[in-house]
Amino acid sequence: MSFSDKSDFKGAAHKALGLMVEHEERKAGSRDVAYENVANAIRMSSSWVKKSVLDADFMRKPRVTLFHNIKAAYERLCENIEAEHQAELKKLAKLKDEINAAADGIAEFVERENRSSVRGATSARPAPHPQAMTA
């Protein structure tokens, strides 16, 4: 994406701010805390972030340094999300291996039980009737 005019610059910054606030709100459980967290990340006030997210035209003349702060914060967020995703995939793979090992163990146990009950059924005599034992 090339930033040929201020609207491209402003639009990208507005979208990134909105996404960062949404992410922080899910994480913190509070929109106001989200504004504060994003503000700290880009070195602006939470009221400025709130106004910028709610009104795309609020950033009339965005500074290049502000855009770089927003870009850097957004890239950090993306990196953190990707790292969390990779960690979650590793946990899921480990759990899948554990479940498969447990399932294999159960299948082997059932197979052994079935073999021993088949062997036992062919070699054993039927048990006497309970009344015959008391007579």
Tell the residue number behind the tokens 């993306």, with chain if given. Answer: 78
Question: 51 and 45 in contact (C-beta within 8 Å)?
Answer: no
| Mean pLDDT confidence for 27-43 | 96
With cut-offs at 50, 70 and 90, classify the pLDDT of residue 133: low
- Spell out the long-range contacts of 87-90 with Cβ–Cβ below 8 A and sequence spacing 24 or more: none
Determine if the pTM surpasses 0.85.
no
What mean pLDDT, rounded, does the chain reach?
85
Please choose, from the candidates 61, 51, 53, the residue with its C-alpha nearest in 3D space to the C-alpha of residue 19: 53
The confidence score (pLDDT) of residue 1 equals 43
The 10s digit of each residue's pLDDT in 101-127 is: 888 888 788 888 888 877 665 555 556
Helix (H, G, I), strand (E, B) or coil at 129: coil
116 vs 133, higher pLDDT: 116
Q: Which residue has 């880009």 as its token pair?
A: 42
